[in-house]
Amino acid sequence: MDAFLNQVFAGLATGGIYASVALALVMIYQATHHVNFAQGELAMFSTYIAWTLIDAGMPYWPAFFLTVVIAFILGVVIERVIVRPVERAPVLSVVVVFIGLLVIFNSLAGWIYTYTIKVFPSPFPKEPVHLGDHLISAHQIGAVGVTLVVLALLYVFFRYTPLGLAMRAAAQNPDSSRLVGIRVGWMLALGWGLAGAIGAVAGMMVAPTVYLDPNMMSGILLYAFAAALVGGIDNPGGAVFGGFMVGVLENVLGAYVIGNELKLAFALVLIVSVLVIRPSGLFGKVHVTRV
């Protein structure tokens, strides 16, 4: 029983990481109705920016917040400059552009920072915390906490602020949004900016655990996709729940059923199953499209 609970806690810890990346994915989807395949690489690149600042002597939290701001601006710029020309293009063109971004950022990171792994600091204390009989690193709890805080902020933003409402409207119905005066183009850019910021936070929470290298996010991205789909691609709360669920399932199944090596395949099976059985996920809204 003990070992099982250990796996569950470890799963919750990794799940927190998936949850935060899933949040960024859902963010972009809510704002643009696009799935951003480059989300992981952008998050990784932002983490490298933080690393550069810290390496140059900046204390952790100022570097953290500055990185978040830079990542926000980077997101906005990417949307306005690179994604906007293909906004009305067929899905395949958009997918190709996203994959292009993925490839560019992965390669740039490798070029600028090389592929040797780097240590990324954690702002949380080093001593592990006792939860009953179990030990969990303070960082993992802290990371989960940060994710939940971000989630709460997002929820409030989308539900209760005029700008959040406008962003949701712009993604769902751009034409009607223009008719009420919403500047749709800037709403999309804002969505990307927010996703970039969230991704940066996720990356900075992930890096202390898995060490910083250009391919840090590739495995995580797939789990994050699975988490976002399980929770419902248009539901931030669902994405976070999905993240924890995927983390726990991954660890428990990995330990007892399928072995560690097939974990990615598990994510694949999960994705396909969700998409086939219940595409709107556990908490997403079921959309009926009119013919």
Partner 1 sequence: MTPASTALSAPVSAASGKLRYLGYAVLLLAVCALPFLVSNYRTFQLTLVLVYAIALLGLNILTGYNGQISLGHGAFYAIGAYVAAILMDKFGVPYYLTVPVAGVVCLGVGFLFGLPALRLEGLYLALATFGLGVSMPQLLKDKHLEHWTGGVQGIVILKPDPPFGLPINQDQWLYYFTLAVMLLMFLLGWNLLRGRVGRSLIAIRDQPIAAEAMGVNNALYKSLAFGVSAMFTGVAGALGAIAVQFVAPDSFNIFLSITFLIGIVIGGLASIPGAIYGALFIQFVPNIADQLSKAAPWAIYGVFMIGFMYVMPVGVAGAIRIALARIRHRTKGGGGSQKS
Partner 2 sequence: MAPLLQVTGLRAAYGLTRVLHGIDFSLDEGSITALLGANGAGKTTTLRALCSMVQTQGEITFGGARIETKSTEDIVRLGIAHVPDGRGTFVQLSTEENLRLGAYVRKDRKAVEQDFERIYGYFPRLKERRHQQAGTLSGGEQQMLAVSRALMLRPRLLLLDEPSFGLAPLIVREIFDIMRTINQSEKVSILLVEQNASMALDLADHAYLIETGRVVLSGTSAEIKGNDAVRRSYLGY
- Does residue 180 belong to the site contacting partner 2 (CB under 8 A)? yes
- Does residue 255 belong to the site contacting partner 1 (CB under 8 A)? no
The least CB distance from residue 181 to partner 2, in Å, is 4
Quick one: tokens of 202? Answer: 């996720």
- Does residue 173 belong to the site contacting partner 2 (CB under 8 A)? yes
The only residue of 2, 133, 175, 261 in contact with partner 2, by rule CB under 8 A = 175
The only residue of 166, 200, 226, 271 in contact with partner 2, by rule CB under 8 A = 166
The least CB distance from residue 186 to partner 2, in Å, is 10
Residue whose CB is less far from partner 1, 5 or 96: 96
Residue whose CB is less far from partner 1, 37 or 158: 37
259: left (phi over 0), alpha (psi -120 to 50) or beta: left
- Does residue 183 belong to the site contacting partner 2 (CB under 8 A)? yes
Q: Binding-site residue total for partner 2 (CB under 8 A)?
A: 19
- Does residue 279 belong to the site contacting partner 1 (CB under 8 A)? yes
The closest alpha carbon to 25, from 268, 223, 269, 256, belongs to 223
The least CB distance from residue 235 to partner 2, in Å, is 12
- Does residue 162 belong to the site contacting partner 2 (CB under 8 A)? yes
Cβ atoms of residues 1 and 123 within 8 Å: no
Report the Cα 235 to chain-centroid distance in Å: 13
The closest alpha carbon to 192, from 35, 58, 28, 69, belongs to 28
- Number of other residues whose CB lies within 10 A of the CB of residue 114: 11
Binding to partner 1 in span 12-71, by CB under 8 A:
34-35, 37
Cβ atoms of residues 279 and 273 within 8 Å: no
Quick one: tokens of 248? Answer: 């726990």
Question: Angle, nearest 10°, between helix axes 236-253 and 263-277?
Answer: 140
First-to-last alpha carbon distance for the chain, in angstroms, is 52
The closest alpha carbon to 33, from 80, 91, 120, 109, belongs to 91
Could you give the string, one character per residue 197-236, with x where binding to partner 2 holds by CB under 8 A and - elsewhere? Answer: ----------------------------------------
The only residue of 22, 63, 74, 97 in contact with partner 1, by rule CB under 8 A = 97
Residue whose CB is less far from partner 2, 13 or 27: 27
The least CB distance from residue 276 to partner 2, in Å, is 23
How far, in Å, CA of 270 to CA of 24, rounded?
Answer: 20
From partner 1, partner 2, none, interface partner of 107 (C-beta below 5 to 8 A by class): partner 1
Largest CA distance in the chain: 59
Secondary-structure breakdown of the chain: helix, strand, coil percentages, each rounded to the nearest 5? 75, 5, 20
Applying CB under 8 A, the residues found at the interface with partner 1 are 34-35, 37, 82, 85-86, 89, 91-93, 95-97, 99-104, 106-108, 110-111, 218-219, 222, 225-226, 229, 259, 261-265, 267-268, 271-272, 275-276, 279, 291
